[in-house]
């Protein structure tokens, strides 16, 4: 019976690991793609083309990042608590595994907050302002538009830095 329980535990850990890694790869991939490819390309578009692209792509992009970040931060603790079966995997803030997991999780939660408290409202406001400009093209761009563009210049590098830092600690934890 003990063998069967251990085998089921390993299967559960494997499934949770797969879902956690899949979601973090999606989240990191989206952030890196936006930072390296989309953001520099939008800067080369005409204002009309840039606005049209943002209105069509940003809501879907933001929603996918929200979903992937929420899944990552959901599967991560589930995985950690499933693996919390005694030395070396225990939450005592003494073992290297525990320290790496807690630091990585803290940075990951900070990245999640960046998504929901910075990226989401900034992208939403940006889309609304661009739609207003498209409806009334004679209207000059507002100061708020420039502020939102500056925020979007800061948020992706911040998110990528946080995500990569989180991944460093999680990979380090996997070594124990």
Give mean pLDDT in consecutive 10-residue pieces for the chain, a chain of 176 residues: 83 94 96 93 90 95 97 93 70 85 95 97 96 88 89 94 96 88
Three-state SS letters, the chain = CHHHHHHHHHHHHHHHHHHHHHHHHHHHHHHHHHHHHHHHHHHHCCHHHHHHHHHHHHHHHHHHHHHHHHHHHHHHHHHHHHHCCECCECCCCCCHHHHHHHHHHHHHHHHHHHHHHHHHHHHHHHHHHHHHHHHCCCCCCCHHHHHHHHHHHHHHHHHHHHHHHHHHHHHHHHCC
pLDDT at site 142: 84
Structural domains in the chain (count): 1
pLDDT at site 119: 96
pLDDT at site 124: 96
pLDDT at site 53: 95
**pTM of the shown model:** 0.88
Structural domain of residue 156, as residue ranges?
Answer: 2-174
Q: Which CATH number fits the domain that encloses residue 39?
A: 1.20.120
């Amino acid at each position: 019976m003990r063998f069967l329980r251990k085998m089921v535990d390993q299967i559960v850990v494997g499934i949770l690991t797969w879902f956690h890694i899949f979601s973090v790869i999606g989240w990191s991939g989206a952030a890196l793609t936006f930072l390296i490819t989309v953001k520099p390309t939008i800067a080369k578009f005409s204002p009309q083309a840039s606005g049209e692209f943002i209105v069509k792509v940003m809501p879907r992009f933001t929603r996918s990042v929200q979903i992937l970040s929420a899944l990552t931060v959901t599967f991560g603790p589930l995985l950690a608590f499933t693996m919390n079966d005694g030395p070396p995997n225990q939450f005592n803030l003494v073992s290297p595994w525990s320290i790496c997991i807690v630091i990585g999780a803290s940075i990951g939660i900070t990245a999640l907050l960046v998504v929901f408290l910075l990226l989401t409202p900034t992208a939403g406001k940006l889309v609304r302002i661009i739609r207003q400009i498209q409806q009334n093209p004679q209207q000059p761009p507002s100061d708020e538009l420039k502020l939102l563009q500056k925020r979007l210049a800061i948020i992706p590098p911040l998110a990528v830095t946080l995500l990569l830092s989180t991944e460093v600690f999680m990979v380090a934890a996997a070594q124990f």
